[in-house]
Chains A and B, each alone.
Chain A
Amino acid sequence: RKEVEQDPGPFNVPEGATVAFNCTYSNSASQSFFWYRQDCRKEPKLLMSVYSSGNEDGRFTAQLNRASQYISLLIRDSKLSDSATYLCVVNLNTGFQKLVFGTGTRLLVSP
């Protein structure tokens, strides 16, 4: 079983739509969680951290369910510029902090 699992997509949505991505992780000792965005042939960039109480940054809302080992990202009012791959990332603090990446979910926003 992969340590971080995501639906690869692609998710094809029209501009203005709301879209949600899910992610599950296998290591219950995981301590911190993130969503990264990766554009084609580029490096990943931190989109937002994910907190237990849930957190929002503009059109983006992230939620964490530790009991279910489940993380989500909600994007409201999708823009064309949101088209990218969204990576679910988990920090395994096994004596040394190490980021583990999911394979990513591809989002395509069309006019």
Chain B
Amino acid sequence: GAVVSQHPSRVICKSGTSVKIECRSLDFQATTMFWYRQFPKQSLMLMATSNEGSKATYEQGVEKDKFLINHASLTLSTLTVTSAHPEDSSFYICSARRGAGIYEQYFGPGTRLTVT
């Protein structure tokens, strides 16, 4: 099946610093990439949707200036958490869609962010 990677898998940073998470589709070109966040015992919540070469569409309540998304190519999207705070500690998961169909959406292994 299609493979999506994320890097890093785990990161610990100090409050006030910025953290960049990379998401790559390894064996296909992703027309659309998604970023989700999951707090303990909660569901995955979509943060934003991005298409290559265009600005990301953020979900209501997600600060676009805090969570910067760059979808520079059909195989790479990055999420930068700026001025991270402890409440940003979460499991961040990216997903890449290969085609137009909902059935072709593949998830990365996730990045666990801990802000101290």
- Which residues in A have some Cβ–Cβ distance to B below 8 Å? 4, 8, 32, 41-45, 49, 87, 91, 93, 96-104
Beyond the given A49-B103, A99-B105, please list 14 additional residue pairs across the A-B interface where CB-CB is below 8 A: A4-B43, A41-B110, A42-B109, A43-B107, A43-B108, A43-B109, A43-B110, A93-B102, A98-B49, A99-B46, A101-B43, A102-B43, A103-B42, A103-B43
Q: Indicate the size class of the contact surface on chain B.
A: 10 to 19
Interface string of B81-109 (1 = CB under 8 A from A): 00000000001010000000011010111
- Distance in Å: Cβ of B57 to nearest Cβ of chain A: 8
Complex Cα gap A41–B45 (Å) = 15
Expressed in whole angstroms, the minimum distance between the Cβ of A28 and any Cβ of chain B is 18
C-alpha spacing A45/B8, complex, angstroms: 20
Q: Which residues of B come within 8 Å of A, CB atoms?
A: 41-46, 49, 91, 93, 102-103, 105, 107-110, 112
Q: Which residue of chain B has the shortest Cβ distance to A8 in the bound complex?
A: B41
- Say yes or no: A103 contacts B91, CB within 8 Å: no
- Contact of B43 (CB < 8 Å), options: A49, A87, A96, A97: A87
